[in-house]
Amino acid sequence: MRVKQIWEVIPLPAKIKLLWDRLTFSRLTTTYFIFSLCHCIIQVALQVRVFTINAEAAAFLWDLASQANTTYLPDLQPAYLRLCNDVPSDASICKTIWNATAIPANASSQNSLSAKESNSSIEQLTLTSMSTESSSSLATSSVSSTKLVVEASSSKTPESTTTVFVVAAPTVTSSVNNASDDDDDDDDDDDDDGDGDTSVCDSALVHTILLDNTKREDIIFIAFQIWVLGMSIVALLNESIPHIFASLATHALATAWSIFQIIHTANFRSNFNRVITNGTCGVALLPRYWDERAKAEYPTLALNVVALLFGWQTFKRVGASMTMNRVYKLVLLLSITLQLSFFFMGATISLWIDNLFNGVAAQVAWYVAFYKATSFVTEIFLIPWIMTGWVAVRKESRLTMFIFLVLSILYLGGWSLMFLSTTFRWTFVTWRFFSVMATASVLLTVTAFVLGIICRFNFGKGLPRYCELPKLTDFFPAVDAQEPLPGDDFTAVYSSDIEKVQFPSNEKPIPTFSASFGSGSESVVTVPTPAVTRAASFDSGIDLGRSSSQTSGESFGSSVDSYYTHSLQGDYRFGREDSSRPVRGRRWEIE
């Protein structure tokens, strides 16, 4: 098969040319396309950087937390940190390892902390406390060149001094030696207070494994940026109001998402410093993590704000001047909702599936196989759901609309039943990003369901004649605005052009003036005659100075008669031997 034949089957050059024409239609469209492309590339690069930062921090903290050899689930509250054997439904199965408001039971204690720096960048911390018990302990731990040494001694004297030497970070391996008459009681108190005990620090770091969730959030945000670029390009190429609305909405969501990321990072830093840095461990484990993440998050927010403003200007140029009737507005709203729901529903299900394979749900959930099966089925039916809703409302197909509504009910019902699972409830409560995505997907699904019902009641009002579906030979869907809907208060002015003739004509010659009457001095018409009607009589005779038109009649023959006819009987123009003398007859008339 030759290349020309391939292009006939797959008209790729024509499609590329159409694509180029749409993108270069005006300066606004060209600028918007270039900006959207550059914006997506920069945003993806920044988000990849954020992903690597989170991955490195999560791996570092997980190495530290794994030394505790615990599979407990963390339960962080403003006043305490607990580790639970299962999803924390009962406080009795949880162990408190850090309490922000705990006061030693053996009476009053008063602590003072002072710090000095030496030339070797080793901090010496002196802790003076009141004590009534006698104990001594030694804890040593190391990772490569990092060392944490805690040495404590006390007697029944009212004061004791504890000196702590810290280099960079705490421990990966730990060993604790205790010698006291009340070893068990003292160890329990140390676990609760979390002062200087590296095993408590390692256990508390289990809470930081939730940093793994930020990696999943970053992946979703990268996919979201690519989806925003796709929506922007489709809005330009399609020149349709739903895509313009959806493109503007995606830019607004991206801006809100960036703000959410900054707030979420600030909250995580506050909890980390409160529980880990200033609580159980007493050491800044992530000194550079916060600055590096801020360097990527704030430029992301700035770019999203610029994209939102630029998208708003484009929307005002393109969408504000278009007139839509009430029925079509509902169709547009449903289309916008479906496009937004597609991403949020897909992202929510993907996050839950990843949690079932790699997250906490994979360890503690009871019906993991059942959850996986239902999640994959929901993900597969997501595309038919959006397709049935998109097509049903435009073709006014009752069966397709029924399928769309049934799928919507099934998704909402399945999402509601998931709250019967304690693992799902715990994930929904503790993972704010997941809860936001799941809530948004449900709200959009409910909106699409309600709009689908309203559009179903509007069937039969002529919407298919107003919006024609895209054909297979079309590159993009078109809107036929020449056929008004019932109830329009204006008269359509669109009609076929009477001056247009098929060229070249395959059946008959083109009826030009020169072909019928001659050109220039050869014209048979010399002076315009007075206007007459069909009923007028020419018995008195009207001299029409006509030159010989025999050649004109012979050149076209009977084909001219298909365009011109005689108004009345009695014209003997054709077949006359001497046509140079004045003709007394009837007037010619063009049909």
- The number of C-alpha atoms within 13 Å of 238 and in the hemisphere containing its C-beta is 19
- DSSP E strands, 8-158: 73-76, 80-84, 94-99, 112-117, 123-130, 136-143, 146-153
Q: Report how far apart, in Å, the C-alpha atoms of 367 and of each of 358, 391, 431 are.
A: 15, 36, 20
What is the pLDDT, as a whole number, of residue 474?
40
- Whether residue 335 is found in the same domain as residue 472: yes
Query: 134-143, 439-448, 493-502: which has the highest mean pLDDT?
Result: 439-448
425 & 522 share domain = no
The CA distance from 271 to 280, in Å, is 12
**pLDDT higher than threshold 80 for residue 380:** yes
Output the pLDDT for position 68. 62
Give yes or no for a contact between 579 and 549, defined as CB atoms under 8 angstroms apart. Answer: yes
Span 466-480, mean pLDDT?
42
The share of the chain scoring above pLDDT 70, in percent, equals 51
Confidence grade of residue 371 (pLDDT, cut at 50, 70, 90): confident
Tokens of 527: 């002076």
Q: What is the pLDDT of residue 446?
A: 92
Last residue of a domain, one of 197, 218, 250: 197
Residue 427 is assigned to a structural domain of this protein: yes
Q: Is pLDDT of 566 > 70?
A: no
Over residues 428-435, mean pLDDT: 85
Q: How many Å from the N-terminal Cα to the C-terminal Cα in the chain?
A: 51
Q: What's the confidence (pLDDT) of residue 268?
A: 82
Taking 50 as the threshold, does the pLDDT of residue 482 lie above it? no
Please check the confidence at residue 418 and state whether its pLDDT lies above 50: yes
Q: Which residue has the higher pLDDT, 123 or 434?
A: 434
- pLDDT tens figures, 259-289: 888 888 888 888 888 888 787 777 778 888 8
Quick one: which of 407, 411, 414 has its CA closest to 384?
Answer: 407
Tens of pLDDT along 330-341? 787 888 888 888
- Which of 316, 311, 335 has the alpha carbon at shortest distance from 252? 311
What value does the mean pLDDT take over residues 73-93?
68
Mean pLDDT of 439-467: 81
Residue 570 domain-assigned?
yes
Whether residues 187 and 118 share a domain: the answer is yes
246 part of a folded domain: no
557 and 471 part of one domain: no
Band of residue 200 on the pLDDT scale cut at 50, 70, 90: confident
Q: Report DSSP state, residue 582.
A: P
Structure tokens at 559: 């084909």
> Helices then strands (H, E): number in the chain?
18, 11
236 in a domain, yes or no? no
- Greatest alpha-carbon pair distance for the chain in Å reads 150
pLDDT at position 416 is 85
pLDDT of residue 74: 72
Selected residue with higher pLDDT from 449 and 368: 449
- Residue 145 scores a pLDDT above 50: no
For residue 353, pLDDT beyond 80: yes
Q: Is residue 206 part of a domain?
A: no
Q: Is residue 306 part of a domain?
A: no
Domain limit, last residue, from 140, 168, 197: 197
Secondary structure of residue 11 in the 3-state scheme = coil
pTM for the complete prediction?
0.55
| Residue among 212, 413, 214, 369 at smallest CA distance from 297 | 214
What is the extent of the structural domain holding 367? 325-480
Residue bearing the bigger pLDDT, 353 or 159:
353
Do 378 and 445 lie in one domain? The reply is yes
| Greater pLDDT, 491 or 110 | 491
- Whether 525 and 462 map to the same domain: the answer is no
Mean pLDDT along residues 239-259: 75
Rounded Cα–Cα distance for residues 304 and 512 (Å): 62
H-helix or E-strand spanning residue 303: helix 289-318
Q: Report which of residues 155 and 244 the model is more confident about.
A: 244
Residue 160 pLDDT more than 50?
no
Say what the pLDDT of residue 90 is.
60
Candidate from 129-143, 360-374, 428-442 with smallest mean pLDDT? 129-143
Q: How many CA atoms lie within 13 A of 322 on its CB side?
A: 19
pLDDT of residue 460: 74
Q: What percent of the chain has pLDDT over 90?
A: 2
SS3 154: coil
Q: Is residue 327 a contact partner of residue 485, using CB atoms and an 8 Å limit?
A: yes
In this predicted structure, the answer to whether residue 83 has a pLDDT above a threshold of 50 is yes
Residue 175's H or E segment, with its range, is strand 173-179
How far apart are alpha carbons 567 and 529 in whole angstroms? Answer: 15
Residue 329 shares a structural domain with residue 434? yes
For the chain, give the mean pLDDT.
66
Residue at 190 is within a domain: yes
Q: Is 453 found in the same domain as 372? A: yes
Is residue 450 located within the same domain as residue 526?
no
Same domain? 539 vs 434: no
| 478 within 8 A of 22, measured Cβ to Cβ | no
Please report the pLDDT score of residue 240 as a whole number.
61
**Strand pairing report for 564-566 and 588-590:** antiparallel
The pair of three-digit structure tokens given for residue 11, joined into one six-digit string: 């008209």
Last residue of a domain, one of 197, 225, 248: 197
Task: Report the interhelical angle of 212-238 vs 12-23 (nearest 10°).
Answer: 90
pLDDT at position 425 over 80 = yes
Q: What phi and psi, each to the nearest 5 degrees, are found at residue 544?
A: -115, 105
Q: Total domain count for the chain? A: 3
Q: In terms of pLDDT, which residue wins out, 505 or 77?
A: 77
d(Cα 250, Cα 344) in Å, to the nearest integer?
Answer: 11
Nearest-10 crossing angle of helices 382-395, 432-457: 30
Could you tell me if 369 and 475 lie in one domain? yes
In a domain, residue 116? The reply is: yes
State residue 105's pLDDT score.
37
Listing from the earlier edge strand, what are the strands of the sheet with 123-130?
112-117, 123-130, 159-166, 146-153, 136-143, 173-179
Per-residue confidence (pLDDT) for residue 29, from 0 to 100: 73
Torsion of CA 445, 447, 449, 455, to 10 degrees: -140
Nearest to 74 by CA among 56, 57, 97: 97
Q: Which helix (H) or strand (E) holds 415?
A: helix 398-417
Q: Do 408 and 330 belong to one domain?
A: yes
Distance CA 221, CA 257 (A): 8
Helix axis angle, 432-457 relative to 398-417, nearest 10°? 150
| Mean pLDDT, range 11-21, rounded to an integer | 72
pLDDT band at 443 (very low <50, low <70, confident <90, very high): very high
| 222/331: higher pLDDT | 222
